[in-house]
Structure 1
Amino acid sequence: MTEVLVRALRPDDLADTSAFAAVRRVCVPAMLATSASVAFDAAHAHPDAHYLQLVAEVDGEVVGTAQTGVAYDSPEPGQSFANVYVHPGRRGAGAGSLLVRTAEEYLAGKGATTVYSWVLDSEENRAFAARRGYRASRSAHFLRLDLVNGELPPLAAPPSGVELRSGAEFAADPRPLFDLDAETVADEPSDVAAEFTDYEHWLAETWHHPLVDQELTTVAVVDGRPAAFSLARTDDAARYASGMTGTARAHRGRGLAKLAKNDSLHRARAAGFREAFTGNDAGNEPMLAINRWFGYEICDTEVRHVRALG
């Protein structure tokens, strides 16, 4: 008889974090994950997020994962998330159902009233969500760019008054990048609004995250202040991803985000990275147009689902 067990991840166990990352890479190749990043996420999550990573085992083998927590940075209380993935070759044993049920019970115990979940856009996955009372909402695309065989747009000289700098140049004082990130995140399309107000936590959770590559991050600077940026994330398998690309409101419409991202992509290719990933809300046409200009192609789609708890 098949035995299914759901438990909390053991973040200090290398085998556990490696298995968690392996399932995530198989299910969503565009989302970078390593053993180190999984352990880091567990150790540095904001305490108000009540962040919990779950694993599902079938006969002792990790076949599914869940990341769940409270959207503490949302101005609307009671919002939460639970993102569940099960290895495509190990579905049908009940691991996904048990992960969802365990996550929902945990979130309800933390006072959550609404749970959001990203669901890969396939008939099977959407039916799974619908059977559990989840309603489809907005969608988002994952995009991939071949850095080996693809042709990047040629590098262009920055316009007068604009300077391109590596994110590593802000290592001593990244506060201006936090301010810029907070402004761009506030304007990003989403079902759950977010407000960045905790600089120290941003330093720990974002700027010093093991996947963030400060050297390959590019910042467009105007009058000594960051005006646009493209945050680079890299793993240990020659893969690069754009963590966030954005422009300060006062400088939008000048092509500075495109300039910064192009510089970062060229430097990533020169450093030996073979493929680049990014993600966009399906309704964010300006950013989708920019990524098409770079040569990105949609490689997968997720649909945000929502369910009221209780």
Structure 2
Amino acid sequence: MTVLVRDLRSDDPADVAAFARVRHRAVPFILWTPESVVHRLVHTPPGARSRSLVAEEDGEVVGTAQIGLVHDSAEPGPAFLNVYVHPERLRRGAGGLLVRTAEEYLTGEGATKLYSWVLDEPANLAFAERHGYERRRAAYFLRLDLANAALPPLWSPPPGAELRTAADFADDPRPVFELDAESVADEPGDVGVEFTDYEAWLAETWRHPLLDRELTTVVVVDGRPAAFSVAYTDGTRYSTAMTGTVRAHRGRGLARLAKTASLHRARAAGYTEALTGNDTDNGPMLAINKWLGYEICATEVRHVRELG
């Protein structure tokens, strides 16, 4: 048995497909496609120093890692490494080698604090602890049986508001960018991020291969986007990537309206499963998802290792 770590060959369809397949087996609650894997690698800004790694065992891809600096952080030094190994290839050295390779690279790029998501399972948590990572906050993966769920009926928007889709902003998506930037700034998290680069947002987010603009629902108030629910689809599954409201319009139920409308559209389009994720401290969004019928299906724990 020989395990080695190398960079993902983004120009090799078979290699990319193997990366996506391992990710799907390890974390089936997130949508992974070959196109989305390549998109993330190609369109992450140069300042992130991003890399995608694979671990091979006797020529077979058995582990993956996505690593880089948090380039849009308000503070210098944070970096991320998320390592996942095929569940049938655990405890054979792939995970440890991926972590060591990632840490060596990120340290060389100036990282001072390493963040990693770890599935809340005894073996995974013990692995992180052995490598010097400490537990921080947690997040839930949630699932909705969209085929059989009793979705709340869709109600009319309040006066001055209307339901639209992201596709309606195809000619000028900047208003959606501004909504996204304000919403993300207030999300729970370890590292504060700022969306200031519109062109980068267009490349990374607006042109993301999983983004479904017809199912992404936007609540417009007095002509400006005020709330939205971002939909990702892979042809068979639907996932909510983000739901948020600008500060001036919070407390009016607009995020709930956007997500409910998006789910109704998704079911009408033939999707039978809906996925999402929430920080355990995000009480308002967890309440909305519980009201919609989502159930927690797994938990992941944010870990950190401070260098130096």
Question: Aligned runs of 1:161-310 on 2, under 5 Å?
Answer: 161-236=160-235, 238-310=236-308
Any idea what SS the aligned residue of 1:76 has?
A: coil
The Cα shift of 1:150 comes to 1.4
SS in 1 for 2:105: helix
Counterpart CA distance in 2 for 1:134 and 1:63 is 23
Q: Is the 8 A contact 1:147 1:274 kept in 2?
A: yes
Residues 128-143 of structure 1 mapped to structure 2, 5 A cutoff: 128-143=127-142
Q: What's the CA shift for 1:193?
A: 0.8
Match of 2:27 in 1: 28
Question: Identical aligned pairs, as a percentage?
Answer: 68
Matched, 1:78 2:77: yes
Q: Which residue number in structure 2 is paired with residue 92 of structure 1?
A: 91
The structural deviation recorded for 1:309 is 2.4
Shift of 1:273: 1.0
**1:204-258 Cα shifts (integer Å, max 9, x gaps):** 000100000111100000000000000110113x111111100000000000000
Quick check: 1:135–1:307 contact (8 Å CA) kept in 2?
Answer: yes
Amino acid at match of 2:256: K
- Structure 1 residue 74: Cα displacement: 0.5
CA distance in 2, matches of 1:181, 1:200: 14
Deviations 1:251-271 (CA, angstroms, capped at 9, x unpaired): 000000000011111101111
SS state at 1:88 partner: coil
Gaps of 5+ in 2: none
Report the equivalent of 2:109: 110
- Aligned mates of 1:6, 1:295 — CA distance in 2: 41
Runs of 4+ in 1 over 3 A off after TM superposition: none
> Match of 2:302, SS?
strand
After superposition, give the CA deviation of every residue in 1:135-183 in whole Å (9 maximum; x if it has no partner): 0000000100111111111111111111000110001101011111010
What residue identity is the alignment partner of 1:307?
A: R
Q: How many residues align?
A: 308
- Shift of residue 59 of structure 1? 1.1
Deviations 1:104-152 (A, max 9, x none): 0110111101100000001110000000000000000010011111111
CA contact (8 A) 1:70 1:81 kept: yes
* Structure-1 separation of matches of 2:192 and 2:16: 30
CA distance in structure 1 between the partners assigned to 2:226 and 2:306 by the alignment: 39
Cα contact 1:104–1:309 (8 A) shared by 2: no
TM-score by length of 1: 0.98
Q: How far did residue 62 of structure 1 move?
A: 0.6
- 1:226 and 1:294 map into 2 onto residues whose CA distance is 23
Match of 2:2 in 1: 3
Amino acid at match of 2:136: S
**Equivalent residue letter for 2:109:** K
Letter paired with 2:269: A
Alignment of 1:41-52 (within 5 A): 41-52=40-51
Aligned equivalents of 2:234, 2:102: Cα separation in 1: 28
Q: What letter matches 1:256 in structure 2?
A: L
Counterpart secondary structure, 1:253: coil
Specify the code of the residue in structure 2 equivalent to 1:301: T
Q: 1:73 Cα shift?
A: 0.4
CA contact (8 A) 1:140 1:302 kept: yes
Aligned to 1:37: 36
Structure 1 residue 298: Cα displacement = 0.5
Q: Output the CA distance in 1 between the equivalents of 2:273 and 2:288.
A: 17
